[in-house]
Amino acid sequence: MSKLWQKDNTAVNAKIEKFTVGRDPEFDLLLAEFDVLGSLAHTRMLASIGLLEDTELNAVQAELKNIYQTIQQGAFVIEEGIEDVHSQVELLLTRQLGEAGKKIHSGRSRNDQVLVDLKLFTRARLQTLATATQQLFELLIQLSDKFKDVLLPGYTHLQIAMPSSFGLWLGAYAEGLVDDMEMLQTAYRLANKNPLGSGAGYGSSFPLNRTMTTQLLGFDNLHYNVVYAQMSRGKTELFAVTAIAQIAATLSRLAMDICLYNSQNFGFIKLPDEMTTGSSIMPHKKNPDVAELLRGKTNRLKGLPNEIMLVMTNLPSGYHREMQVLKEVLMPAFDEILDCIDMTHFMLSGIEVKTGILDDPKYDLLFSVERVNELVLQGVPFREAYRIIGNEINNGAYQPNRHLQHTHEGSIGNLCNAQITEMMQEVVARFGFEKVEQAIENLLQ
């Protein structure tokens, strides 16, 4: 089967074909539904400028929607010898409609087709990721409220420092996800710009209405400059995997805490037996493999931004074929982070916390700051109070005061989880998912 770009009486060496195509067909299947959505918008625009007759438009739109249904049913394939998803969709249209199917490529290049497909794919996957992140956030807040009064040692340098609580610990990761959601929103904003109509990177002599396709596809705005529209490839992927890496960093740190806290030397939490694995020779072992694998998988995801930057290093303006391999970095990353979020949610749902941890005399020194502050409240200057309690500790005269008086915002006694939840809700509301969903629904009607 000849390629869209292939000239008569030319053929590509089979070895070159295999190398240049790579894994593209595998990942192109994930773009199929978005390729159809782009074509639905593009063909409406072509009709508006007189490049498709009304009867041709109606036929093309109906057949594109049939193809979309085939994709949703999992029956869409890229046939042997067909180069990519764009060629396959055009082939299916041409088989059914003849000349009308051949017209849909007017005013469009494969360069801006793949760009718009990737923008739509990334936008959709970022929405899915935002939803999953919000659900994990809500569980963390719920658990933080549930265990707000159960005290826990706080550490700096892995040395006992001051009293903490399970509410404070879990709430910290919840608020961390709020900042991660801000990063997701930044990636979403970039993914939600329309490159369609930029062609091969230098526009078209057709009087394309790019504002129309922007509105039809629910994009927030255009990539106006056609050269930059092409240059946004790589940057869109970088922003997306950077957002993924930030969530991964939060999850990996939480996983490490769980590995520590679940160990016998800490003994602060217990994972249910069904969440642990055993040893082939040690009958007592209950290993936190889930948390360890989460730590490993999320740590690997943290390296993805560097992969993108290395692929894009020193590229001049315009399209370059190595951009194709960015799909291999971006697309699996969404599945991996979503799987990690799901497993973190499952693991936290079954976690058991130990009560009375700080009653153990080995944690007496955690309350030294409480004693210092007690003296300060009685009028002793802070540096003098610090010296007095330090001497008591050195002389063995120190007696802890386990009565905590933490009332300021964000402390043990005032977690401010309602305010943190409000921040998350405000970030989620700014995505504007409803506008996009309505635009896609209108396209498919």
Q: Which of 157, 284, 403, 408 is catalytic?
A: 157
Q: Is 414 left (phi over 0), alpha (psi -120 to 50) or beta?
A: beta
* Nearest-angstrom CA–CA distance, 409 and 117: 45
Q: What does the block give as tokens for 244?
A: 């993924």
* Nearest-angstrom CA–CA distance, 114 and 38: 10
Task: Return the closest-CA partner of residue 326 out of 241, 246, 244, 245.
Answer: 241
Main-chain dihedrals φ then ψ at residue 194, nearest 5 degrees? -90, 120
**157 catalytic residue (yes or no):** yes
How many Å separate Cα 228 from the centre of its chain? 24
* Nearest-angstrom CA–CA distance, 383 and 389: 10
**284 catalytic residue (yes or no):** no
Burial letters 239-265, b for 16+ CB under 10 A, else e: bbbbbbbbbbbbbbebbbbbbbbbeee
Q: Which of 2, 263, 279, 349 is catalytic?
A: 279
Q: What does the block give as tokens for 194?
A: 């329309």
- Provide CB contacts within 8 A for 50, sequence distance 6+: none
Alpha helices in 147-280 (DSSP H): 166-191, 210-216, 226-231, 235-262
Helix, coil or strand: residue 234: coil
* Nearest-angstrom CA–CA distance, 307 and 290: 26
**Cα dihedral sign for 290, 275, 167, 257?**
negative
DSSP string, 66-89: HHHHHHHTT-----TT--SHHHHH
Residue type, 249: A
Supply the residues annotated as catalytic: 157, 279
